[in-house]
A and B are shown apart, each in its own frame.
Chain A
Amino acid sequence: MTNKNLIQYIYGIADNSLILGQRLGELCGHGPSLETDIALTNISLDLFGQVRSYFQYLAEISKDEVTEDDLAFLRKEREYKNVLLVEQPNTDFAYIITRQYFFDVFHFMLLKKLEETKNVNLQAIATKSLKEVAYHKRFSGDWLKRLGDGTDISKEKAQQAVNDLWVFTDELFHLTEDDKAVVEAGHGVDVSLLKEAYYKEVTSLLDEATLQTPETKYFQKGGKNGIHSEHMGYLLAEMQYMQRAYPDMKW
C-alpha cells in the first residue's frame, strides 16, 4: 500500500460525507416542518464534522503542505471520489429521505468494519461517527416508512424516489484499485463483502414501508473514479465559490 493509495481511499470515504453534507446544507430553512428542518441540518453538521476529521488526518499524511480547506474546496471535479448517489439533487422530500437511507445503511456498515481495521486514525473517526450515523439511519428509515405507508401520494413519491435512486446503490460496493491495495494492507474495508447484508436490510425496510424493491439489473457507476453526473459541476461551483474568487485568503 502506498501513501497515494491510502489518500485516495480516504477521499473515497470523506467525499461522500462532504457532498451529501453540502446537499443537505441547501435545504436549511426550507424543510417541510421545523422538526425535519432541524434534523436534516443536524445530519449535515455531523457529516461536515466527519469530513473535517478525515481531511485533518489527510493533511497530516499528505506530502504537500495542505489544509483541510484546500482538500475540501480546491480540487478539480475529477479528483472528488464520492459515489454518484450522494450528489443527486434534492428533487423532493422523498428523494432526500431515500438518498439518505440508501447511504446511511451503507455508511453504518462501513464504519462498523472500519473500526476493525489496522488504521488507528480511521478507527477513531469511525467510532466517533458511528453514534451519529446510527441516528441518521433511524431518522431516514423511520421517514421512509412514513412516506411508504402514509398516504397514496406519499407512497407514489417514495416509490418513484426508490426506483430512481436504486440504480446508484450498486456502486457503493465497488472497489477501486487504490481501495484494493488499502484493503490488502488491512487498513481499509472490503465493501464488496457488505453487499448481501446491505440489500437484505434495505429490502426488509422497503417491505415494511410497503414499497416495491426494484428489480433492475442495470446500475450506474463512476463517482468513485471521479466520473460524476452533470449535477456535480454546479454543486462544486457553489461550494468552491469563495475559495476560487478570493484565492489564498483566510476566513
Chain B
Amino acid sequence: MENQEKMNEEKLKSLEAIFEAKIANDEKIEPKDWMPEKYRKTHIRQISQHAHSEIVGMLPEGNWITRAPSLRRKVALLAKVQDEAGHGLYLYSACETLGISREELYEQLHSGKAKYSSIFNYPTLTWADMGAIGWLVDGAAIINQVPLCNTSFGPYARAMVRVCKEESFHQRQGYEIMMKLCNGTPEQKEMAQDALNRWWWPSLMMFGPTDDESTHTEQSMKWKLKRKTNDELRQQFIDQTVPQANILGLTVPDPDLKYNNDTGHYDFGEIDWNEFWQVVKGHGPCNKERISARQNAWNKGEWVRDAAVAYADKQAAKKELKEAI
C-alpha cells in the first residue's frame, strides 16, 4: 500500500515535470495530455467566458440587422454577427475537449455562474453604435486576443488564430462605418460622436481591473493565457485608438487625456470602477435582457433539439433493422 502511494506520487511528479517542460519550451498542451486540474479549470473558465462573450455579443449588434440603413451594410452586419456565432462554435468545441459539455456550459451562462464580457451589457441605441462597436470593442478584443494565438493550450491557440483574423476585418468594417458618418451630414457626425461618448469608457473597462486588483494575472502569465497585464493592454489600446479618433475628427470624452512626451504614451483620466463592478455583478443596463434572451432562445429551442435527437434515433433504428434483414 505504501509502495503504491509512493509510486503514484512519483508518477504525478514526473507528469508535472513533463507538463512544466512543455510550457517552458513553448510546446502546446493537447487535450489528451496530462494537465494539472487547476490548468484545466482555469482554461474551462476562460475559454467558456470567451465563447459566451461571442454568443451574447451577437445580441447588441443583432439588434440592428433589421434596421441597417443600406443593403450593403445589412449584408456586412449579418455576416459579422454570423462570424461571432462561428467563433462561439469553435470556442465551445475547444472547451469541450477539456471534458465539459456544451449543455453544462450553457447552463453556467444561463444561471449567471459564468461571466461574459461586460461590454455587451450596454445598449445599442443608434446605427453609429455598429461603427463604434466594430472600431472600439473589436479593437479592444483584438488587443486582448492576439497574444492568445500563442497560448499554451493547443485547441484554444488554434481557434484564436482564426478568430483574430476575422476580428481585425470587423474592426476595419466598424471604423469604415464611423468614417462614413464623420464625412456625412452634421447629424451623422453627431451620431458618431455620441456613440464614441457612450462606448469609450466601457471599452477601456474591457481590459479588466487594474493590475493590483486583478486576481488571475500571475498564474495566467505563466500558462501564457496572458502575456501582458491589464494595464499594459489598456494603455496599448488608448495609444492606438486616440490617433484614430483624431483622424475621424471626433473628441475622446476624457478631459484628462493628454499625450505624455516623457513616457511616449497617453495619460488618461480615472475609470469609473463603481460602474465597472456594477455591470460585472449583473446590474448593468442590459444584463437582464441579454441573459433572458439567451435563456429564451435555449428554452424555446428545447423541443426542436429533442426532435432532432428523436429523428436521428429513429433513422438509426431503421438502418439497423434494414441491415439485420
Map CB proximity to B onto A216-251 as digits: 1 under 8 Å, 0 otherwise. 000000000000000000000011011100100111
Shortest beta-carbon distance from A113 to chain B in Å:
26
CB distance from A111 to the nearest CB of B (A): 20
CB distance from A240 to the nearest CB of B (A): 9
What are the residues of chain B within 8 A of A174 when measuring CB–CB?
Answer: none
Cross-chain contact A243 with B69 (CB below 8 angstroms): yes
Q: A25-B65, A29-B81, A92-B300 are in contact. Are A52 and B71 (CB under 8 A)?
A: yes
* Residues of A contacting B307 in the complex (Cβ-Cβ under 8 angstroms): 146-147, 150-151, 153-154
Q: Which residue of A lies closest to B301 (CB)?
A: A32
Query: B304 contacts which chain A residues (CB < 8 A)?
Result: 32-33, 36, 93, 147, 154
Q: How distant is A239 from chain B, measured CB to nearest CB, in Å?
A: 6
Do A242 and B69 have beta carbons less than 8 Å apart?
yes
Q: Which residues of B contact A146 (CB under 8 A)?
A: 307-308, 311
Mask for B119-154, Cβ within 8 A of A = 1, else 0?
A: 000000001000000000000000000000000000
B66 contacts A38, C-beta separation under 8 Å = no
Known: A34-B92, A243-B69. Is A150-B85 also a contact (CB below 8 A)? no
A28 contacts B81, CB within 8 Å?
yes
B55 contacts the other chain (CB 8 A): yes
Nearest chain B CB to A159 CB, angstrom units: 13
- CB-based nearest B residue for A18: B71
Listed stretches A41-49, A122-130, A191-199; interface member:
A41-49
B66 and A26 within 8 A (CB): yes
Contact with B along A45-66 (1 / 0, CB 8 A): 1001101100100000000000
Min CB gap B184→A, angstroms:
6
Instruction: Tell me if B296 counts as interface (CB < 8 A to partner A).
Output: yes
Q: Are A38 and B82 in contact (CB under 8 A)?
A: yes
Pairwise interchain contact A154-B293, C-beta atoms closer than 8 A: no
Residues facing B in A128-161 (CB within 8 A) are 145-147, 149-151, 153-154, 157
- The CA of A26 and the CA of B63, in the complex, are separated in Å by 8
Is A242 a contact partner of B75 (Cβ separation < 8 A)?
no
B40 on interface, CB distance cutoff 8 Å? no
Contacts A42-B82, A145-B311, A250-B184; A32 near B300 (Cβ below 8 A):
yes
Question: CB-CB < 8 A to B202: which residues of A?
Answer: none
* A149 lies within 8 A of B78 (CB): no
> Closest approach, in angstroms, between the C-beta of B291 and any C-beta of chain A?
13
With A51-B71, A72-B71 in contact, do A30 and B185 touch (Cβ < 8 Å)?
no
With A33-B304, A36-B304, A45-B75 as contacts: A28 and B65 at CB distance below 8 Å: yes
Given A28-B82, A38-B85, A38-B89; A149-B69 close (CB under 8 Å): no
**A37 and B85 form a contact (CB under 8 A):** yes
| Chain A residues whose C-beta falls within 8 Å of the C-beta of B308 in the assembled complex | 146, 150
Given A28-B65, A246-B69, A249-B185, CB of A149 within 8 Å of CB of B311: yes
The 9 closest A-B pairs by CB, nearest first: A32-B301, A150-B307, A154-B307, A242-B69, A29-B58, A29-B62, A32-B304, A251-B69, A146-B311
